[in-house]
Amino acid sequence: MTAVHIKNVVFDIGNVVVRWDPLAIIRLTFDDSDAAEEQAKSIFQSETWLSLNKGLITENEAKAQYKETLGLTALECERLFYYVKQTQILIYGSVDLIKRCKSAGYHVLALTDNVHEIISYLKATYTFWDLFDGATVSAEVGLLKPQPEIYRSLLSQYGLKASETVFIDDMPYNVKGAESVGMTAIQFKNAAQCEQALKSCGVRL
């Protein structure tokens, strides 16, 4: 990577800071279902989930829609959203990496496609959210990655220059979305790999 003058380090949340595993959620909800992949697609790639991620509906409204469109029972809906939250365990080394970026003097922020109720759960369960100097959440701005507008929203809201900002995300298309607006971007695999990639683009830790 070309070294640039980075001042801001922006973290995605799902599969960067906490685990996001739709297949595990489905298997837990439906008792180790044989059709887990198909069910995960029908739930997490549905218009209902997109609307939830954009903040257009609440979790309770999503449950009602899943009952109507997919025929889920009330108990299945309760289990689904229980496991949506409870499976979000911390990824090894990521919080420490956030802390070290902050201690080294960088502005540390979050940019995440995420649901109001999940963010509330993460804030209540873990302490890492308080480390962020700011956060742009899809449900609060009605936009999703890799739409260029969501990256620009982050830059505009916090007065950041794209050329001074590095974005970390596990999904390659979200990395490309950040690069399309002039940010440096890293595809996250694990905290150790991410740290080396940050150093390669000029971040001193």
Domain containing 189 — which CATH number?
Answer: 3.40.50.1000
The answer to whether position 168 is within a domain reads: yes
Q: Binning pLDDT at 50, 70 and 90, where does residue 31 land?
A: confident
Whether 95 and 189 map to the same domain: the answer is yes
Q: Binning pLDDT at 50, 70 and 90, where does residue 4 land?
A: low
Whether 110 and 196 map to the same domain: the answer is yes
Residue 168, class by beta-carbon neighbours within 10 Å (0-12 exposed, 13-18 middle, 19+ buried)?
A: buried
Whether 146 and 75 map to the same domain: the answer is no
- pLDDT at position 190 over 90: yes
Rounded CA-CA distance 7/184 in Å is 11
**Coil, strand or helix at 143:** coil
Whether 175 and 99 map to the same domain: the answer is yes
Whether 114 and 166 map to the same domain: the answer is yes
Domain count of the fold of the chain:
2
Q: Which of 63, 86, 109 is the last residue of a domain?
A: 86
Rounded CA-CA distance 55/202 in Å is 36
Specify the pLDDT at position 1.
44
Report the length, in residues, of the chain: 205
Whether 76 and 100 map to the same domain: the answer is no
pTM for this predicted structure: 0.95
Residue-wise pLDDT tens digits, 77-113: 999 999 999 999 999 999 999 999 999 999 999 999 9
Domain that holds residue 66: 22-86
